[in-house]
Chains A and B, each alone.
Chain A
Amino acid sequence: MSTRIYIPSDTTAKSLGADRLAMQMAVVAAERGVDIEIVRNGTRGLYWLEPLIEVDTAEGRIGFGPVKSKDLDTLFDAEFWQGKQEHPLALGLVEEIPYLKRQQRLTFSRAGVIDPLSLDDYRAHSGYQGLAKALEMSAQGIIDEVKASGLRGRGGAAFPTGIKWQTVLDAPAEQKYIVCNADEGDSGTFADRLVMECDPFMLIEGMTISGLGVGATQGYIYLRSEYPLAFETLNNAIATAYDNNLLGENILGSGRRFDLEVRMGAGAYICGEETSLLESLEGKRGLVRAKPPLPAIVGLFGKPTVVNNVLSLAAVPFILDQGAQAYAYCGMGRSRGTLPFQLAGNVKQGGLVELAFGPSLRELMFDFGGGTRNGRPLRAVQVGGPLGAYLPESQWDTALDYEAFAGEGAVLGHGGVVMFDDSVDMSEQARFSMEFCVAESCGKCTPCRIGSTRGVEVIDRIRAGENREANLELLSDLCETMVDGSLCAMGGMTPFPVQSAMKHFGEDFAQPAKTEMEVA
C-alpha cells in the first residue's frame, strides 16, 4: 500500500515553494521506486514551518519542515516516508507540536488536516452535522442557539451575531440575503483566507444555516480580488455542494432552498465596510451608506440582509453541531468562544493561533510567536489592522478580550497582530496611516477625505522639524476632527494608530526623521 504524504496548498505554502516541492517529490519518489500518494492539504497555519509536509503513519501524522527542494534527497535517504525521524527536519507528531497543541481549534480543527475540496473528508471530520441539526430545527431555534453561544462578529465591530440574525428574521420580506464579508483588507490578517482555502465547505455550511435561520434563499460571498486562490477554491467547493444537494432548491431533500455565489471585489479597502460592500455588490461605487437603516432591515437591493464576516459564519457549524454551550464554554467575560489570532510582521513563528479569549498579548507574541524574526527587540505592535492602535510594551499584558482592549484605547478587530522591531520609526508609521486613508477613503465626508491629506502634510512637517510644537498640536486637533466628524470607522479610526504613536512613542516625533542616507 502506498504511503500518504500531505503537502500544503494554501497561498502562503505556495509562496514558499510548496507546488514545486510536490512536483519534485513525485519525481524523486518515482525514480527511487517509492510508492507514495501525495495529497494536497490546506495548511495548519504554522507558517514558519512551511512547507510542512506530513507522513501518514499508524501512530499519527509525522511532520517535516520547513522542507526545501534541496532536502528531498536526504529525506528519501532517511526514509522519511516510513515515518522514520532521523532527518534533522523531523518534527515528530504534528498534533504534538506545542504551537498547535496549545491552541483551542474550534473553527480551524480541520485546516491542514483535510483535502479542502474533498466533501468526504469534510464529512468524515464532523462536516455538515451542524446543517443536519439545523434542518430539524425552527428558524427561531437556530437563532436562539447562536445567541446562546455568545458569538460576536469577527469582522471588527464584535456585534452579537444572534441579535443581528433576529433582526433579519423579524423583518418581513419576500427576499432576504446572506452576505459574507470576505474582503479581509486588514494588514496582518489571513484567517478568512485560510477558511476559504483550507476548509471552504465550513463557510458554505455556515451560510446555509444562516439562510435557514433568517429565511434567506440567496447568499453572496464578497471576496477581495487579492485572493485569487480562495476564489478558485470557493467556486470549486460550491460546485461540489450543488452536485450533492447541499446547495440549490432542495437541500438534502428538505425542500429548503439556498443558492450561493462568489463575487469579486476590486481592490478597495473601504468595501470591507458593510454598507460600502453592499453598494459594490449592487454594481456601484463603494460609497458608505448612512445608518440607519441597518442592513439587517434595508440591505442588499433594499432587502433585509445578514452581513457577517467569514469567521463569524464559519463558527456556526460548530455551534449547531456541538451546541452553544460548547462554544460559550471558552473565553472570558463577554468575549465568548475563540478568536483566530494571526501573528504577522516581524515575528519568528508567524501563523494562525486560535485561542479562547483571555491570554495576554505578550503570551501570544512570545510564547507562540517567539519574539521577532530577526532577534532584535520588539518595540511596537499594531493589533486589529490599519485602523488599530500601536501598543507599546507597557500594554502587552492586556488580556486578549474585546473589553480589555477597548479599555486601553485599542481594538482586537479581526485578530491581526503585526510586530515591529526597534528599527521602526513611529512617525513614519503614523504618516502611513494617514496616507492609507487618503488612498482608501470613499470620499463622502470631508474630515476623512481632506483631513487625511492634511494629516500627511502635517506629519511631513513634523518629521522635517518645522514648527514642531505647533504642528503636533495641529495633528492632535485634526485627529479629533476626524474621530468626531466621520461617517464610518475609516475616517473615525484612522486617528487611533496616529494618536497611539504620538502618545506612546513621542520620541519619534521629537527629532528630525532620519534621511535615507542615514538609514542606509
Chain B
Amino acid sequence: MSTTGTTPWHPEIASAIIDELKTKPGALLPILHALQDRFGHIHSDAVALIARALQTTRAEVHGVISFYHHFRTEQPGRHVVEICRAEACQAQGARALEAHAKSALGIDYAQTSDDRTVTLEPVYCLGNCACGPSVRVGDDIHAFVTPESFDELIDDLKTEQLELK
C-alpha cells in the first residue's frame, strides 16, 4: 500500500530534483510532481528555487501550484484518501459514503485526522465508474465501497501504522 512522500524538506535534494528536470520543455509540472512525490507536499521554500531555475517569478510558480487541485502546500497525513464525488459514483451511493467518511473521521475534505493517519480529499472520477462508489488510497483503488468497508479500510490503515511503530 503506497503512502505519501515523507522525506523531510531538504533544499539540496530539492535543488537536485529541479536541476535534473529544468531543461525539459514545459518543466514546471514535472518538477512540482517530482517534489510532491518526494516530500509529500510543495514546501514554501521550493517556490523560490523553482522560480530561479526556470527564470520565472515566484508569483507565477505560486499561481500554478494553486491552480491545480493535485498540488498541496502542507504535509498531508500518512495516507491520502480520495473519495470519488462524481456522477457515476453518486448513482451508487457516494453521497452517503462521503457523509459517513466525514463523520467517522471527524474531518472535512482537505483536513487531516488528529492521529495524522488520513487526509481526506474529494476526487472527480477515478475511471472505476462501473463499480462505484470508488475510493483511492495512494495508488490503490477500491470498488463498491460501503460505509462498512470504508471503516475497515481506515482500520487497516491505522493498524498498519501501529505495526510499523
Contacts and interface: CB of A to CB of B under 8 A. Distances in A.
A352 B152 CA distance: 30
A386 B123 CA distance: 14
Contact of A187 (B64, B129, B142): B129
Nearest to B31: A283
Given A12-B130, A429-B87, A266 B92 contact: no
B27 A285 contact: no
A421 B88 CA distance: 12
B26 A229 contact: no
User: For this complex, into which size category does the number of interface residues on chain B fall?
Assistant: 35 or more
A382 B87 contact: yes
A269 B130 contact: no
A419 B142 CA distance: 20
B20 to A, nearest CB: 15
A421 B139 CA distance: 31
Given A226-B123, A382-B87, A285 B63 contact: yes
Interface in A358-414: 373, 382, 386
Contacts of A266: 29, 32-33, 68-71
Contacts of A11: 126-128, 141
Contacts of A283: 26-29, 54, 64
A345 B69 contact: no
A264 B70 CA distance: 11
Contacts of B26: 263, 281-283, 301
A265 B64 CA distance: 12
B69, B126, B127, B132 — which one has the most chain A CB atoms within 10 A of its CB?
A: B127
A301 B27 CA distance: 13
B69 to A, nearest CB: 4
B130 A263 contact: no
Contact of B131 (A267, A286, A350): A350
B72 to A, nearest CB: 10
Nearest to A232: B139
Interface string B48-73: 00000010000000011001111100
Contact of A47 (B69, B86, B91, B130): B130
A520 to B, nearest CB: 9
A440 B68 CA distance: 10
Contacts of A284: 28, 64
A227 interface: yes
Given A15-B134, A264-B33, A386-B87, A184 B127 contact: yes
Contacts, number: 153
B66 to A, nearest CB: 9
A47 B131 contact: yes
A268 B69 contact: yes
Interface stretch (A54-62, A120-128, A188-196): A188-196
A16 interface: yes
Contacts of A285: 63-64, 67
B128 A418 contact: no
A416 B141 contact: no
Nearest to B136: A226
Nearest to B71: A266
Interface string A243-275: 000000000000000000001111111000000
Nearest to A349: B130
Contacts of B111: none
B129 A228 contact: no
A229 B89 CA distance: 20
Most chain B Cβ neighbours within 10 Å, of A12, A265, A351, A382: A12
Nearest to A271: B68
Interface in A177-199: 184-190, 193
A76 interface: no
Given A47-B131, A282-B26, A226 B88 contact: no
A280 B29 contact: yes
B127 A190 contact: yes
A345 B143 contact: no
A344 interface: yes
A11 B141 CA distance: 7
Nearest to B93: A346
Contact of B143 (A12, A189, A342): A12
A343 interface: yes
Interface in A153-207: 184-190, 193
Q: Ordered nearest first, which 6 A-B pairs have the shortest CB separation?
A: A350-B130, A283-B28, A187-B86, A345-B91, A266-B68, A344-B129
Interface of B: 25-30, 32-33, 54, 63-64, 67-71, 86-92, 99, 123-132, 134, 136, 139-144
Given A15-B142, A188-B125, 17 more contacts: A12-B128, A12-B131, A16-B143, A187-B88, A188-B86, A188-B129, A189-B125, A190-B129, A226-B125, A226-B136, A264-B29, A264-B30, A266-B33, A283-B54, A344-B132, A416-B129, A420-B91
17 contacts: A12-B130, A15-B140, A188-B88, A190-B127, A226-B125, A226-B127, A226-B136, A268-B68, A282-B25, A283-B27, A286-B67, A301-B26, A344-B91, A345-B90, A345-B132, A436-B124, A440-B124
